[in-house]
Structure 1
Amino acid sequence: MPTLWDERYAGEAYIFGTAPNAFLKSQAARLQSGQSALAVADGEGRNGVWLAQQGLQVWSVDSSSVAQAKAKKLAAERGVTLQFEVADLLAWDWGDARFDIIAAIFIQFTDPAGRALQFEGIRRALKPGGMLLLQGYTPRQLEYKTGGPPSVENLYTESMLREWFGGWDIQHLREHDEVINEGSHHAGMSALIDLVAYKPGK
């Protein structure tokens, strides 16, 4: 039975575009060919495919088989190979110390209880010394209405991210308002927050 996300991703168009997220792309210098990477809630694959193009070994996970079919098509067009998995990220086994990189780009589809599961999964799944690249919306996004969830409880603040990842080596944490153009579903002035943090250890 098709899910809400399957219905949202139906059709030929890539609703978030095929170009990588601009923040993710801006961190290219931190990536190393051969690293293992998890693309969380990777949808139609724009970010996972880009990571694979940088030489990373990418695991692309999403709840929608419709989206992943489009992601596989994009990967074939770009000449890269990824591992794909359809899974409920609130019930998924993230594993322990599996990945060098985790890209968590606009994964705000859940409430605080679900977010706790996500963030605990991220904390476990990264290897010691591994890097988290996260971008999301702040509560000001409710004023712009240019994408993202309609509920304030799903959105991020700097204090929230410091609470979850404050013991990590935070290289970059910034709230900013910026115009983004990521397909039809993320377009226009947006209230964003970016995080680059390394897990302790190694």
Structure 2
Amino acid sequence: MSEDVQQFWNERFGREEYVYGTSPNTFLKASAHHFPPNAKVLCIAEGEGRNALFLGQQGHQVHAVDLSTKGKSKAERLAAEHNVSLEYTICDLNEFDYGENCWDAIVSIFAHVDSASRTNIYQKAIASLKQGGIFLLESYHPKQLEYGTGGPKDVDMLVTLEDLRPHFADMKIVHEAELERDVTEGSFHTGNAYVTQLIARKRT
């Protein structure tokens, strides 16, 4: 991923405000019961840390990865303010060492990347899940371009269930949906939106 992308996110996260808010994504919050207690969770493209904070408050061991140094600083500050432990790595998602058989859950909330990167990232991520591990994703759908309430303008970075299913074909699908819902999260997710959701469990 280019330095231009890192610069884009550093500029966005360099604002004083938490630009996507400090409350967790509501789909993640509603779905967290799928995670085992005290889970080891990886949050990819975690940005300013709102979802990592929530998971840490639930007693999970959270590791975040993102390209933005500004995002990391704000996430660490947010975690410290709430006395939550957080590990955070600055890295391109394509180059991150996901490991193997080490995560109870991986969380991908609006972690938009191009289609070629998705193939690489999801393959590594699935290999890194423990047996029975959960992959939870919410992303904007291509229809989101009609809404203009957040997300990338490049359709290659938006996903449908048809795009996702081949990557998770060997996993048990716990939940999948394409739907319109309110996504109001800070300054850049601003209302009615069209999203794709997936929860998949690695078979034992």
Matches within 5 A, 1:85-124: 85-108=89-112, 110-124=113-127
The answer to whether the aligner puts 1:83 opposite 2:87 as a matched pair is yes
Partner residue in 1 for 2:183: 180
CA-atom RMSD, angstroms? 1.2
- Contact 1:170/1:198 (8 A) holds in 2: yes
Measured in 2, the distance between the counterparts of 1:9 and 1:129 equals 34
1:157 to 160, 163, 166: 160
Measured in 2, the distance between the counterparts of 1:179 and 1:100 equals 29
Q: Write the deviation string for residues 72-129 of structure 1: whole angstroms up to 9, x where unpaired.
A: 1110111110111111111111111110010010011x21111111111211111111
Partner residue in 1 for 2:195: 192
Q: Structure 1: where are the runs of 5+ without partners?
A: none
SS at 2:27 equivalent: helix
Measured in 2, the distance between the counterparts of 1:147 and 1:170 equals 27
Q: Structure 2: where are the runs of 5+ without partners?
A: none
Runs of 4 or more, structure 1, over 6 Å off, are: none
Partner residue in 1 for 2:56: 52
Paired residues in the alignment total: 200
Measured in 1, the distance between the counterparts of 2:70 and 2:80 equals 16
1:131 to 104, 128, 134: 134
Partner residue in 2 for 1:140: 143
2:20 to 16, 23, 26: 16
The one-letter code sitting in structure 2 at the alignment partner of 1:39 is C
- Contact 2:131/2:202 (8 A) holds in 1: yes
Identity percentage of aligned residues: 41
- In the superposition, the TM-score normalised over structure 1's length comes to 0.95
- Contact 2:48/2:72 (8 A) holds in 1: yes
TM-fit CA distance, 1:28: 2.5
SS at 1:140 equivalent: helix
